[in-house]
Structure 1
Amino acid sequence: MEESVIHTVKRLKNWFLVILMVPFALVLSYSLTGSGTFHRNWKISNLNQYQLTVVLKDNRRIDVTEKTPVEPLHVYSTTGHEDRKTSAQQNTSVITTAKDATTSASMTHIKRGNFTGVILLTYMRSGSSLTGDILQQPKDTFYLFEPLKSAEHIQKRNGSISYLNGTVMTNGRYNLSAVYLDTLLGWLTCNFSRVYLESLLDLEFLAFGKTLQQYTSCIYRAGLGDFPETSKPILYNITIHQKELLKTCMEDLRNVCLRSKYRIVKTIRTKMSLAAQVLEQVVDSKLIHLVRDPRATIESKSHRKVCPLGLSFCISQHCQRVRDDIIVEKKSRSPERFHTVFYENIASRPIQTAKMMYKFIGMELTPVISDYIFNITLGKNKSGCSVCTAKWQIGNSASSSEKHVDAWKQKLPPKYINRTQQLCNDVIKHYGYEYYVAPYRRKSKNKKVLMKKVIQSVGKFQRKVS
């Protein structure tokens, strides 16, 4: 009897210890994971009730839950094949940690369907608009013109960006590189839940995509795409009726994108290091690196007010960017996925250069496309390429593209030719550009002084004659 009682007491003691240890283990597990699974699940369950803003600044993550609910647009994954949870949806954050800030957009290869993704990467004033127009001519091409521009401008004015699922990142405190990566992946895979809303409504630049005309017309009719530049998220300015119209427009965009065999994004705002991450995450994607003589690029920048800190700083900044991109390209494990193109060749030998680009991508250069390319380059823009004649582009006059190749030799002051050659010497040599000895030019004197001297000389002559 005593033994039975003792045994029962021991069993009860063991059960008591087990009951005690369970909550302790749970508390310990939560403390070790920090803001991990438990906290993350709590966030997910509350996403439908509140709008969660997640921002990243100086390697610190700041989570702010706003009490103003925003209705998601529910236009999620549009490929029809891939996992519907993207970085803008699966956790409430668009950006996770500082370490993962530029890789959170995709954790696996996300190639879906039979398409080739292409990034046309270059720099401001390097002929990318003309090159992009050449590449978008095949009918089965989905072409994006500078889809990252608005994010850069919004952050400069400490504005906010929005996503289709209701997520908002406020006050310009987000990691721009992570937004860029997410957006590039979204456009290339037709997964528009990754693309920030302002990029989807940027009518100024979306209009340059031939296959986007139906979509841009739809957005225009819906009264979208023309919002004031304020710090408030664009999502707050869209009415319920406009949201419904946007869903219809997005379906059209999705269908056009999914049908495309080639998806090309032209960007001057993407570093090679970030573009390389896109290549790693989108199978069979490729990159065309468009290069232009730094002296020609600087000359083009010099009279367009894009160097507020001075031309010398502009020269240094430009060549450092090119230098960094060269290093990344050299270190690539897949050099066959990179193709360097020179703007000088596009301007002087457009058909041959286009043929090489098309072959690299896998596109067919038809006689009709060849004629178009000739007409907008050597043919003095007979085909009416709208982006070629835009006032902010290189070809803003109806002249042969060949004239732009060496125009910098006459237009850029010798002082800045020499400065560019000094600061960009390694870049110039790397791409095989020739060193140029700028001719000495006398400083032109004040016109009034010259006119005064002419009048004096004429007066002296008349006095002598009389």
Structure 2
Amino acid sequence: MQCSWKAVILLALASIAIQYTAIRTFTAKPFHICPVPNPLNCGLGQETEAFERICDEYPYFTYNVSRKTHILILATTRSGSSFVGQLFNQHSDVFYLFEPLYHVQTTLIPRLSHSKSTADRRVMLGASRDLLRSLYGCDLYFLESYIKPPPVNHTTDKLFRRGASKALCSPPVCDVFGPSEVNIEEGDCVKKCSTLNMTLATDSCKERRHVAIKIVRVPEIGDLKALVEDPRLNLKIIQLVRDPRGILSSRIETFRDTYRLWRIWRATACPHDCRKVPHRS
């Protein structure tokens, strides 16, 4: 009997130790949570130095505690990406940007287009990747480095296709259109909203729960891996694929000067069957 009650006590102590370990495991804060409080991402209270080190690389970006979802619409030109992007653009809680990499392309490619240097190419690839990461963190000031001429006092009228973004044509960015005006024409936005205040645009981005970006100018798809694997972004990619014959036919009609020789070939030397390819679909 003496062995029995000792064994019971040992089992009880072992059970308590196991339960304590389990409770500590499930209630401990995950290491990858960033300690920067944010209205959208929940304040995290008192943090340790270990937690702070994980956010040093991108101090403007808070961890996605509430699983804030970001969307990247990836396609080639004339594949339907503008249409899909507008589906997200209509949502009141989505901050949508149309082709922000246009500015990287126009700034860096003229200088690097004839360069065969690997280092020069990596500059362009890294710039595109870092700009996307910054925009998903609502750091629109990062974009100013590529806008020509440079914004003055964080205001510019040179943002590419600014009118394609409903968020950039609505309060607080632009007070011309009221909340009841749902269908804002791109041209009306550019004409009536005047210059774009990047500070107000940044505030608008932070107020919305999701960021959607549409691009056709990604230099190398492999460079998106770092963005997809970043737990702070919670990035979802929508890749659009279209029949290349339809893409070419649409480009021939849309970019008539660029594809002038193609149009001549299709009208003269092209076999009869290839002339039946629809211009748009």
Scaled by the length of structure 2, what TM-score is found? 0.54
2:161: which partner in 1?
205
Q: Are the equivalent residues in 1 in contact too, given 2:173–2:204 (CA < 8 A)? A: no
Hey, what's the Cα distance between the residues in 2 that align with 1:79 and 1:196?
A: 24
1:289: which partner in 2?
239
3-state secondary structure, aligned to 1:111: coil
Q: Are the equivalent residues in 1 in contact too, given 2:252–2:259 (CA < 8 A)? A: no
Displacement after TM superposition at 1:123 (Å): 0.8
Aligned length: 195
> Counterparts of 1:291-440 in structure 2 under 5 Å?
291-303=241-253, 304-305=255-256, 307=258, 438=274
Hey, what's the Cα distance between the residues in 2 that align with 1:136 and 1:178?
A: 27
Displacement after TM superposition at 1:158 (Å): 3.5
1:149 paired with 2:149, answer no
1:189 paired with 2:145, answer no
Amino acid at match of 1:184: L
3-state secondary structure, aligned to 1:178: helix
1:128 paired with 2:81, answer yes
Q: Are the equivalent residues in 2 in contact too, given 1:116–1:285 (CA < 8 A)? A: yes
1:265: which partner in 2?
213
Hey, what's the Cα distance between the residues in 1 that align with 2:67 and 2:237?
A: 18
1:353: which partner in 2?
none
Hey, what's the Cα distance between the residues in 2 that align with 1:207 and 1:439?
A: 35
1:280: which partner in 2?
229
Amino acid at match of 1:294: P
Specify whether residues 85 and 305 from structure 1 end up closer, same or farther in structure 2 by C-alpha distance, changes over 3 A only. Answer: farther
Hey, what's the Cα distance between the residues in 2 that align with 1:206 and 1:414?
A: 40
Identity of aligned residues (%): 20
Displacement after TM superposition at 1:192 (Å): 3.3
3-state secondary structure, aligned to 2:143: coil
RCO greater where, 1 or 2, for CA within 8 Å and sep 6 or more? Answer: 2
C-alpha deviations, 1:405-444, integer Å up to 9, x for none? xxxxxx96596689xxxxxxxxxxxxxxxxxx5479xxxx
Specify whether residues 179 and 254 from structure 1 end up closer, same or farther in structure 2 by C-alpha distance, changes over 3 A only. Answer: same
Displacement after TM superposition at 1:150 (Å): 1.6
Amino acid at match of 2:124: L
Q: Are the equivalent residues in 2 in contact too, given 1:140–1:260 (CA < 8 A)? A: yes
Specify whether residues 310 and 255 from structure 1 end up closer, same or farther in structure 2 by C-alpha distance, changes over 3 A only. Answer: same
Q: Are the equivalent residues in 2 in contact too, given 1:116–1:263 (CA < 8 A)? A: yes
> Counterparts of 1:12-31 in structure 2 under 5 Å?
none
Hey, what's the Cα distance between the residues in 2 that align with 1:78 and 1:206?
A: 30
3-state secondary structure, aligned to 1:175: helix
Displacement after TM superposition at 1:256 (Å): 1.8
Q: Are the equivalent residues in 1 in contact too, given 2:228–2:236 (CA < 8 A)? A: yes
Displacement after TM superposition at 1:290 (Å): 1.1
3-state secondary structure, aligned to 2:106: helix
Amino acid at match of 1:257: C
Unmatched runs of 5 consecutive residues or more in structure 2? 1-35, 42-51, 113-119, 148-153, 176-189, 277-281
Q: Which structure has the greater CA radius of gyration?
A: 1
Hey, what's the Cα distance between the residues in 2 that align with 1:277 and 1:208?
A: 28
What's the RMSD between the two structures over aligned residues?
A: 4.5
Q: Are the equivalent residues in 2 in contact too, given 1:295–1:417 (CA < 8 A)? A: no
Hey, what's the Cα distance between the residues in 2 that align with 1:309 and 1:277?
A: 39
Specify whether residues 301 and 416 from structure 1 end up closer, same or farther in structure 2 by C-alpha distance, changes over 3 A only. Answer: farther
3-state secondary structure, aligned to 1:144: strand
Scaled by the length of structure 1, what TM-score is found? 0.34
1:119: which partner in 2?
72
